Structure 1
Amino acid sequence: MEHRLVVPPTPFLVVAVFALMMSAQCSAALTRPAEVNFAFVSDAYDDTTAVQTLERYLGLQAAMKVINDNDMLDGIVFNFTAVAGAIDQQYPSAAYYASLTSNLTSLNPFGFVLPDWMVNDVAASIATSGVETMPIVAPSTVAPDVYNSTYRNWIFLHQPFSSEHLGALNYALNAQSRCAYSVAMGQEYPGVAAILNSTAQTLTDLGLSAKTFIITDASFTGGTTTAAIRDFFFGDAPKVPGCVFITSLKPVLQLIIDSLWGDPRFDRDNTFFFGPSAAASLFYNSTTYGTAPYQNLRFSFPATDPSNISIPSAQRFQSALDAVITLQQVPQWLINKLNPARVLEIVALGFYTP
């Protein structure tokens, strides 16, 4: 199962500034530029990747405004340009590489910002285009054999789950009565046990109580997932969890909620779900968001989830986003993929998966 790390604007700002500062130290003969430009490369071959590309684009726009308004680069203007990757197909072809190479050659960027979706394909495309000596800002999921910079080390934005934890705990600690007993759940894949155990341990350290449950591949293939979820959730009744922390993408997150919602023992009014931001966009872009059985579903990110208005980082991001984003700033190839009405809706919501 592919897992995507979520990078809010603040880490991107730190790394972008760090990259520029380090480059200035690499050579005394390096001319100080008036402007630096990163190429944001992302695929939009289907509805999901197009939406996530737009979300990340919005986050970068807000980050750019914070950098430039606060003169964080000491007189250097920071900019980024969105470059279309694959528009119509998931797997890159010769035409894909040729188009991307042409775009990157004409842009001549300082470095690259890679997406958290299909990141290895995009990294491979950059390497194929002959510009693999440039720095990149990318998730830590990039395979080391895909992109090897000979100029400087590439930069990983490690975003373990600390931000996810803090966002979820913001809810839990504001309502300890319903989160006094919680459960952390996720689909089986490498590393999920450590993630779930970390969540449960953090809750325990804060004086709450929590247990973990991994939905195994066997329960999916055997068609027993719903029964397994219900048996675990209600196994300690009457001590039924009031909060459910889920580490899975949308299909499994939705399966968990649907499975519990259909059980007569489930407390529909007082049980709250906390999902990962990697699943957020697909809920925001569906008619199910905010309706039963998802009215008690919360996300730590996107920062502009209306439920997050008490979180200072969310307030700062929303302020920057509101001040900078218009439909005219969105790349035309994204508008064509999503259609203008959909783009306007997304821009108005301001949500993102940066």
Structure 2
Amino acid sequence: MVKSGITAAFFGAMLATGVSGHMIMKTPVPYGNPDKSPLDASGSDFPCKNVPYDVKAMNNMKVGDTQTLSFTGTATHGGGSCQLSVTTDKKPTKDSKFKVIYSIEGGCPGPGPGNDPPSTFTFKVPKEVPNGESTLAWTWENKVGNSEFYMNCAPITVSGGATDHSAFDKLPDMAVANIASQNQCNTTENFDYKYDKPGEYKTVIGNGPFASLCGGPAPPDGGQSTQPATMPSTGAPSQTMSNPSIPTGSPNPGIPSPSANPAPSAPVAPSAPSAPSAPSMSTPDIPSLSAPPAGLVESSLTTLLTVTGSPSIPAAPSGSPSTGGGGGTCSGDGTIVCNDADQFGICNHGKVVWEPVAAGTKCQNGKIAKR
């Protein structure tokens, strides 16, 4: 009894996964007379099962018109995912480039778990496909059973399409799985599959769970949907870069405000600090020197005053002499001493040498000020 149970289970599994679950594309009408089996895993019959490219019926397709995808066979292996692709080669070889025109993620060729009839789908040939004779391929990666790859091909004649290949060449390449001669992509049983590049024209109808076609978690939103001459619509981050925002609040020292109109910087003496934007500035501290040459400090200050305006300097202490002539005595080294409004001097070791004030200024109360 045990042996009979094992035998029945074995043949039941074979029936569900291998014998009666195979499918053939019914419409569009395929080349020749393909059988229901998947392609050989080695890739020896890739593409199109190496059927003779005998045209039993030409499938005339106008861009934008609704076309029908239907199947012959029983059991849908629980579904899986399918693609429709086109190559402009009339007799495709392993080197032909198939470009995706429609992807069905999950529930294809039907969602049934067992020997259920397949579904019928509709699609449209997109405007990117060139006019003239081409080959359309239906490919399928099944959900339940052995990891297989099904492919049938059909002759088509396109009208109302592109006059060159520029947009067509930008469509994503047909996905291939479980074919050793093409790549190392292998599906995992019991999943509906998300394509990395399903293309702009697609539908998602499976119940899942979803996984990436080549294993691993499913890419978000069915992967990257490629549109000719545009950015991908899903699955890829935006390539638009925004300008960094400029923070508000206190400005960064040394970085001018974008809206400011600063006045030109005035030249200053080498030993003076950088001049602020205010119209006046304080006189820098002058270190004590041993017996500086007569008139050096006064001459330097005269130049500084002429350029920068009237600095604010501490007033001379009371009792400072204010004598006429070429010079005099004073107290309070480093202070300004006035000799009437037109002359000034800087007290240096108790002596002062008079100098005329700059035009437009006057000496008053130990300060140089504008008249």
TM bucket (normalised to shorter chain) is under 0.3
Point out the structure with the larger helix share.
1
Larger RCO of the pair (alpha carbons < 8 Å, separation 6+) = 1
Which structure has the greater CA radius of gyration? 2
